[in-house]
Structure 1
C-alpha cells in the first residue's frame, strides 16, 4: 500500500511541476497578455483605467487545421461587480491550414475595469485546454 501511495505522490508531484512549468499546456504556447497588441512582454496586472488589454498565443501541433478555437474573457472575482466566474465575452476562430497564432482583445468598460481577478480561457473544439490569469489593481 505504501508503494502505491508513493507512486501516486510521485505522479501528482510530476503533474504539478509540468503544469507550473508550462510543459503541460496542450495546444497553446507563448501566451502573452499586454497593453500592446502583438507584444512579447507579458503583463499580469493592469490598472482599472487601462484602455485595452490584448492576449495572443501561438498554436502547437495539437491544434490541427479545421479546429475551432474559442478565447473567453472571464471575471473570476470582482468583489460583486460581476457574478463569480462571469464570462464577459469570447471570440470564436476557425483554424485554417496556415494559422499558427491567435489573438483577442477587450476594451475598458465605460466605468473602468472592476478591481479583481480575471482569466482567459483557450478552448479547442469546446474543450478548455489552457487558462491564464491576470488582475486589475
Structure 2
C-alpha cells in the first residue's frame, strides 16, 4: 500500500489527502468499517490547465468478495476553470458499513489516468 501524505505529488496533482474529516491533515491510510464518510482532496499543478476535465473515481480493489475486484463504486467529473486550483470528492459509508479490504482513488485528466492513491478499510 502507498502511504499518502500532504507531500505526495504526481503529474497534475500534489498534496493529495485522504481523511475521515473534510479539509483534515495529515492524510490517513486506513479507516474503520463504520467511518461515516471518506474525503479526498488534491491541489492541481500547472499540468492541469483551464478547460481540462478531471475525473475522480472510487474503486473497490479487493473487498473479499463483497464487490467484484476493481469495481468502480462511483466517480465525479469536474470541469476545471481558470480559478480552480484544487479538487475534492467524498464517499458516504454504505448502509452495512465499508467492506473490509483495499480501495483506490484514481485521478484522470481528459480521460488519461494520472495518479492512483490507495487506502484500506480494516
Q: What is the TM-score normalised by the length of structure 2?
A: 0.93
Displacement after TM superposition at 1:35 (Å): 0.5
Q: Name which one, 1 or 2, has greater alpha-carbon Rg.
A: 1
Q: Is residue 96 of structure 1 aligned with residue 77 of structure 2?
A: no
Moved over 2 A (4+): none
Q: Is residue 51 of structure 1 aligned with residue 36 of structure 2?
A: yes
Matches of 1:63 and 1:39, distance apart in 2: 24
Matches of 2:25 and 2:33, distance apart in 1: 22
Measured against aligned partners, the alpha-carbon deviations of 1:15-46 in whole angstroms (never above 9, x if no partner) come to xxxxxx955x1000000000010112100000
* Structure 1 runs not aligned, ≥5 long: 1-20
Q: 2:11·2:114 contact (CA, 8 Å) conserved in 1?
A: yes
* Structure 2 runs not aligned, ≥5 long: 1-6
When you count strand as a share of all residues, which structure comes out higher? 2
When you count helix as a share of all residues, which structure comes out higher? 1
Task: State the superposition RMSD in angstroms.
Answer: 1.1
